[in-house]
Amino acid sequence: MDYVSALLPPVVMATLFTALIVTIVKSQGGPNKSKEDAIVDATLARANAPHRPDSGE
């Protein structure tokens, strides 16, 4: 029974890792891709925009 307790954690981790990879691959593209791309484009545009000085002081 020692071999079962020794092999269980790696098997569980491999299963969870595989599920994570499958979830990531399935979530790529699809109907939300254009919305995600628009959010990234807006963030990049905001980061690359020239900074305006504050009109306060």
- The model's pLDDT over 8-39, given as tens digits with 9 standing for 90+, comes to 999 999 999 999 999 988 877 777 777 778 88
Can you tell me the distance from the alpha carbon of 24 to that of 21, in angstroms, rounded to the nearest whole number? 5
Can you tell me the distance from the alpha carbon of 3 to that of 50, in angstroms, rounded to the nearest whole number? 62
pTM: 0.49
Tell me, what's the pLDDT at 33? 75
Number of H helices, E strands in the chain: 2, 0
